[in-house]
Amino acid sequence: MEFSEHIKTANVEDVVLRQPLHPPGRGTLCITGHHLLFSDREEGSCRQVLLLLRNIDAIEKSVENLLTYSSLFSNAGLSQRLSGSSGTITIKCKDLRVFQLDIPGMEECLNIARSIETLSCLDIVSEMYPFFYRPSNASLRDQCGLSSPERHYSQMKELHDRWRLSTVNRDFSVCPSYPQAVIVPKSTDDDMLEKVAKFRQGGRFPVLCYYHKKNGMVIMRSSQPLMGANRKRCREDEQLLLAVIDGSDKGYIIDTRSSQQALQAQMTGGGFESKSCYSSWKRLQRQMERGKALQESLIKLVEACGDESNNMDRWLSKLENSKWLSHVQTALSTAGLVAECVERDGHSVLVHGSEGTDSTLLISTLAQLIMDPGCRTLEGFLTLLEREWIQAGHPFQKRCAHSAYSHARLQQESPVFLLLLDCVWQLWQQFPLALGFSETLLLRLSTEAYVSDYGTFLCNNQQERCALGVKENTHCLFQALLRPGERDCYSNPLYEHTELAIWPSVHPQSLHLWRGFFLRWTPQTHHLEEAQEEIRNMVIEWGKLALS
C-alpha cells in the first residue's frame, strides 16, 4: 500500500499518552495507513486507544524539557532512555478531544508527527478508511441505506394524486447534486423540469421534501433563481410553483438570506422570486449565517470552552461573542416559522437560500421534526437525515474537511450539520419525551460526519458516491446504528409517540450551550451521563415489572 511511504517510524515504545478523563498511560504507539494505535503497557491494565488519523484536526509538536518527562514516571528502567531527547505531540481531534503524546527520541517524534500530518489530510476518497473497513458482523451485500426516493414516494400514497416521481435526473445531468429521482408536481413534465433546472443555481429546481398529511400542504426546497441583474424570468419555473399551490390562495417563500444579500446575489446572476412574476407567493426573509462565518463561530466557541482562566465575565462574553447560540436561535425560529406557515396558516412553503445545500436543508429538516411525528423516531430521524442531507446533496466532504482546531486555511468548511444536531438537541431538551433517539446518537453523528468507519457521509452528493461505488464498497452507518445491540443505546427510553407538533421556545433563556458536545471531554459530563444511565435503568425496571 502506498501509505507506507508516509510512514518512516511505525512503532515507538515507551510513549506516554495523556488524554481527557483518564490518567496518563505508558505504552506502545503504532501508526498505520489509517490509524494511530496506542496500547497501554502498564501493569494490570491493557487499555488501547485506536484513533482514525482522519479524526486529527490539528497537530502541534514541541521538544519537551526532559525533566518534566522523567518526573512523571520515576520508575526504574527509565534512566537509560533519558540520555536521548524527546518530543511532545499534541493531537487535537475533530471530535474535540485533545491528546498529548510524549515520545522518546527526537527523530521518532518528528517522523510520527510528519506521518500524522500527511495521512490525516489525504483527501482521495477511495483511499479512505470506509473502503477498507470490514466488520465481521455485516456483509457488503446488505442493503445500503434506509430508504430511497422511490420507496419514499411509493409509501406516500396520499401524494400520488397531485405529485409524481421524476427520474429526469437519472444520469445526474440535470442537477449533479440531486438524487436520481425527485418528487415534483404531476402537472410538470420532465422537459419543463430541465428548463427550470437551468434557471436555478446548480440545477436545483424546486422539489418536494415534505407533505403535511393533515392539510395536504407541502414544503419544497430549491436553490435561488438565476434572475440576474436584468431580471430574467422563467415561465416554467413560475408554472411549477403555481402547480405547487394549486387550489390554494398563496404560498410562502422562506429566503434564508437578508434582503441585502438577496439583492447582492441578483447583481451576480442569482436573485429571488419577484412579486410581479410570482404573485401568489409571499416572500419572507430570515437571515441565516452560513459558510465561513459559521465555521468561525464554531472555532470561537470551542476556544472559549477551552479557556482555563476561570473568569465568569470572560466566559460569558466569549460565549456571546462566538454567536453560536444566536445561530441556534435563528435556525430554530426560522424552522418554527416554516412549520407555522404549513401547520397553522395552512399554506405551502418553498425554502431556499443561494445554493440550497446548507441552511435550506437545515430549515427543512428542523421544520419536519417539529411537525412530523414520523421523523421523531430513531428510524424516522435517520431516514430524514438520509433524505434531507445525504440524498439531497449536502456537501459533507467540503463542509466537514476540518473542524474547530484546524490551522489550515478555511476553504469550504462549515459546521451546518453540527448546527442541525445542536438544534435537534435543543428540541430534545424542551421535549424530552417526544424524540425517539438519545443525545448519544447526536454525539455519535457529530463525530461520524467528520470521520467515520462507514461510507455514509463520504463525498458531496449521490453522483460522486455512485462514481466511487460507495454503496457497493462501504458499510452503511445508519443500518449499523439500528442493529439490535446498538439501537438500545441510541434510543430514548422515555420516548412516547405524540401526533402533535412540538413548537420549540426560542427565548434566549430556553436555549443552552450543548454541554454534551462542547464540554464532552470534561469530567463534569460524567455525572450527567450517570444520570442518563439511572433514567434508563429506572425505565427498564419499570418495563420489566409492567410486563411480568
Partner 1 sequence: MEHIRLPKVDNVRLLDRVSPRKSRVGTLYLTATHTIFVENEAGVRNETWVLHSLVCSLEKQAATASGCSLLIHCKNFQVLNFVIPRERECHDVHLSLQRLSQPERPEELYCFSYKPNVDSEERRQEWDFLDLRADYRRMGLPNSLWKLSSVNQHYKVSDTYPADLFVPESATPPIIVGSSKFRSRGRFPTLSYYSKENHAAICRSSQPLSGFSARCLEDEQMLEAILRSNPRSDFMYVVDTRPKLNAIANRAAGKGYENEDNYSNIKFQFIGIENIHVMRNSQQKMMEVCELRSPSMSDFLEGLESSGWLKHIKAVLDAGIFIAKAVAEEGVSVLVHCSDGWDRTAQVCSVACVLLDPHYRTLRGLMILIEKDWISFGHKFSHRCNHLQGDPKEVSPVIDQFLECVWQLMEQFPCAFEFNARFLITIHSHIYSCQYGNFIGNNQRERIELGLREKTHSLWSYLWKNQADYINPLYRPDHSQTQGLLRPSTAPYCFKFWRALYNRFDRGMHPRQSVEDYLSAIREETQQLEEQLASHKQKIAQLEQEQEWSIPEKAVPFDKSPTGWTLCNDLANTPQDYTGGFFTSSPCQPKAPITLQTEESNKTSELNLSNGSDQESGIADVSCRSPLSEDSTRDPDSDEAAYSAS
Q: Tell which positions 486-515 bind partner 1, by CB under 8 A.
A: 494, 496, 498-503, 505-513, 515
Closer residue to partner 1 (CB): 73 or 431: 431
Q: Is 134 in the site for partner 1 (CB under 8 A)?
A: no
Closer residue to partner 1 (CB): 79 or 317: 317
Q: Is 436 in the site for partner 1 (CB under 8 A)?
A: no
- Per CB under 8 A, the list member of 5, 310, 409, 484 interacting with partner 1 is 310
Give the x-and-dash track for 269-308 against partner 1 (CB under 8 A). Answer: ---x-xxx-----xxxxx------------------x--x
Q: Is 21 in the site for partner 1 (CB under 8 A)?
A: no
Q: For residue 118, what are the β-bridge partners?
A: none
Residues 6 or more apart whose CB falls under 8 angstroms from that of 49 comprise 17, 19, 36, 37, 38, 39, 99
Residues 6 or more apart whose CB falls under 8 angstroms from that of 34 comprise 3, 52, 53, 54, 119, 128, 129, 132
- Largest distance between two CA atoms of the chain: 86
Smallest distance from partner 1 to CB 521, Å: 13
d(CA 178, CA 465): 12
Q: Is 548 in the site for partner 1 (CB under 8 A)?
A: yes
- Per CB under 8 A, the list member of 48, 268, 311, 411 interacting with partner 1 is 311
Residues 36-55 that bind partner 1 (CB under 8 A): none
Smallest distance from partner 1 to CB 252, Å: 6
Distances from the Cα of 250 to the Cα of 341, 348, 446, angstroms: 11, 8, 38
Give the x-and-dash track for 519-538 against partner 1 (CB under 8 A). Answer: x--xxx--xx-xx--xx--x
Q: Are strands 217-221 and 348-352 parallel, antiparallel or unpaired?
A: parallel
> Among candidates 490, 494, 497, 505, which has minimal Cα distance to 373?
497
- Residue 17 three-state SS: strand
- Per CB under 8 A, the list member of 20, 135, 269, 432 interacting with partner 1 is 432
The helix (H) or strand (E) run that includes residue 185 is: strand 182-185
Residues 349-408 that bind partner 1 (CB under 8 A): none
Q: Which residue has the cell 439511572?
A: 534
Q: How many residues bind partner 1 (CB under 8 A)?
A: 78
Whether 532 and 516 have beta carbons less than 8 Å apart is answered as no
d(CA 500, CA 343): 10
What dihedral angle (degrees, nearest 10) is formed by the CA atoms of 474, 477, 479, 483? 120
Q: Is 155 in the site for partner 1 (CB under 8 A)?
A: no
d(CA 61, CA 20): 18
Q: Is 547 in the site for partner 1 (CB under 8 A)?
A: yes
φ, ψ at 121 (rounded to 5°): -110, 5
Q: Is 241 in the site for partner 1 (CB under 8 A)?
A: no
- Per CB under 8 A, the list member of 163, 252, 389, 396 interacting with partner 1 is 252
Smallest distance from partner 1 to CB 366, Å: 12
If you compute the radius of gyration of the chain from its CA atoms, what whole number of angstroms results? 25
Closer residue to partner 1 (CB): 397 or 505: 505
Closer residue to partner 1 (CB): 314 or 483: 314
- Per CB under 8 A, the list member of 182, 434, 470, 476 interacting with partner 1 is 434
Q: For residue 165, what are the β-bridge partners?
A: 183
Smallest distance from partner 1 to CB 169, Å: 31
Closer residue to partner 1 (CB): 287 or 412: 287
Smallest distance from partner 1 to CB 402, Å: 24
**Extended beta strands in 353-488, E state:** none
Smallest distance from partner 1 to CB 221, Å: 17
Closer residue to partner 1 (CB): 79 or 259: 259
Q: By CB under 8 A, which span of 143-151, 165-173, 312-320, 392-400 interacts with partner 1?
A: 312-320
- Per CB under 8 A, the list member of 51, 182, 219, 262 interacting with partner 1 is 262
| Angle between the N-to-C axes of helices 416-430 and 291-306, in degrees from 0 to 180, rounded to the nearest 10 | 60
- Per CB under 8 A, the list member of 2, 312, 409, 485 interacting with partner 1 is 312
Give the x-and-dash track for 315-354 against partner 1 (CB under 8 A). Answer: xxx-xx--x-xx--x---x--xx--xx--xx---------
Closer residue to partner 1 (CB): 366 or 401: 366
Smallest distance from partner 1 to CB 346, Å: 11
d(CA 474, CA 470): 6
- Per CB under 8 A, the list member of 314, 407, 467, 483 interacting with partner 1 is 314
d(CA 217, CA 322): 37
Q: Is 472 in the site for partner 1 (CB under 8 A)?
A: no
d(CA 84, CA 109): 12
d(CA 283, CA 337): 12
User: From the CB of residue 127, how many other CB atoms can be counted at a distance below 10 Å?
Assistant: 14
d(CA 527, CA 525): 6
Q: Which residue has the cell 463520504?
A: 458
Q: Is 249 in the site for partner 1 (CB under 8 A)?
A: no
**Cell for 29?**
504507539
Give the x-and-dash track for 176-195 against partner 1 (CB under 8 A). Answer: --------------------
Q: Is 259 in the site for partner 1 (CB under 8 A)?
A: yes
- Per CB under 8 A, the list member of 67, 76, 124, 546 interacting with partner 1 is 546
